[in-house]
Amino acid sequence: MLGALEEDQPFQVLAQLFARYEQRRELHPDDPEAAIFFQTLRTILAQVQSCNLNRR
C-alpha cells in the first residue's frame, strides 16, 4: 500500500494520520483508539531510532 505511493506521499500520509489522531485526542482525551495510535507511534519511533544508532 505505502510502496505504491510516490516519493513524498508517505510523509503526507503520516502527517495526515498524526493530525487526525491529535484532533481526536484533543476533542476526546480518553479516546482509546487515539491512545493506541500514539503508543504505537512511540514504539515505532523508538525502534527506528534504535536501528539507526546500531548502524553507526
Nine cell digits for residue 11: 510523509
Instruction: For the chain, report the end-to-end CA distance as a whole number of angstroms.
Output: 30
Mean pLDDT of the 33-38 span:
97
Q: Please return the burial class of 40, using the count of CB atoms within 10 Å of its CB with bins 0-12, 13-18 and 19+.
A: exposed
Mean pLDDT of the 29-52 span:
94
- Could you tell me the residue range of the domain that residue 31 belongs to? 8-54
Is residue 1 in some structural domain?
Answer: no
Is residue 3 in some structural domain?
Answer: no
Is residue 34 in some structural domain?
Answer: yes
Q: How far apart are CA 26 and CA 5, in angstroms?
A: 29
Question: What does pLDDT average to over the chain?
Answer: 91
Number of domains in the chain: 1
pLDDT of residue 10 exceeding 80, the answer is yes
pLDDT of residue 35 exceeding 90, the answer is yes
Q: Please report the pLDDT score of residue 1 as a whole number.
A: 81
* Entry pTM: 0.78
